[in-house]
């Protein structure tokens, strides 16, 4: 079985190209933190070359930039070629089948614009309300000191 799952951040903007047949291919370097500290009590990261194809490649190139956090599911592929110095060069990379964007919409917009000011942006882009709507989605369970009164007939079991 050859299956890999990674969560990390892009170290630079995505490089997208098209094959002669018109198939999109994107490559990016993914920085993945190791789950332990080194002898200097610091976390280290592995930098993993990642390649993605077709529509997913176009989506990654359009919506992910340097610093974007993504989850990748795919497989490891190794290849080799002859380098300019005549020596054999071996390369290992992840061929991604699925890429999940983990940043919020606002994070991506701010990263694209180079803007870190979130004050004029909608706080939750996924709440499904137009930005001009003054009604706020409030947590019905937040900051309640008294217990909830739930009738047994409301329970699904």
Q: Judge whether 125 lies within some domain.
A: no
Mean predicted confidence (pLDDT) in 64-79: 91
Tell me the pLDDT band of 150, cut-offs 50, 70 and 90: low
H-run or E-run covering 106: helix 105-113
The whole model's pTM is what?
0.61
Q: Judge whether 124 lies within some domain.
A: no
Q: Judge whether 65 lies within some domain.
A: yes
What is the predicted pLDDT for the residue at 117?
Answer: 43
Nearest to 6 by CA among 38, 50, 43: 50
> In this predicted model, what pLDDT tens digit does every residue of 113-129 receive, in sequence order?
554 444 343 334 344 44
pLDDT above 80 (res 145) = no
Q: Judge whether 149 lies within some domain.
A: no
Q: Judge whether 47 lies within some domain.
A: yes
Which one has a higher pLDDT value, 16 or 150?
16
The CATH number assigned to the domain holding 39 equals: 2.40.50.140
Q: Judge whether 118 lies within some domain.
A: no
Q: Judge whether 147 lies within some domain.
A: no
Q: Which domain holds residue 84?
A: 4-113
Ramachandran region, residue 137 (left: φ > 0; alpha: ψ -120 to 50; beta: rest): beta
Which one has a higher pLDDT value, 110 or 21?
21
Q: Judge whether 108 lies within some domain.
A: yes
The total number of structural domains that make up the chain: 1
């Amino acid at each position: 079985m050859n299956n890999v799952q990674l969560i990390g951040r892009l170290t630079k903007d995505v490089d997208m190209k098209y094959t002669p047949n018109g198939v999109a291919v994107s490559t990016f370097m993914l920085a993945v933190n190791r789950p332990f500290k080194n002898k200097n009590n610091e976390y280290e990261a592995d930098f993993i070359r990642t390649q993605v194809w077709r529509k997913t490649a176009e989506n990654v190139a359009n919506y992910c930039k340097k610093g974007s956090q993504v989850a990748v599911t795919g497989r490891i592929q190794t290849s080799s070629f002859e380098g300019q110095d005549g020596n054999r060069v071996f390369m290992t990379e992840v061929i991604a089948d699925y890429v999940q964007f983990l940043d919020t919409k606002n994070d991506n917009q701010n990263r694209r614009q180079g803007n870190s000011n979130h004050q004029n942006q909608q706080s939750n882009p996924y709440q499904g309300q137009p930005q001009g709507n003054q009604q706020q989605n409030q947590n019905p369970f937040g900051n309640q000191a008294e217990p909830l009164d739930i009738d047994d007939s409301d329970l699904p079991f």
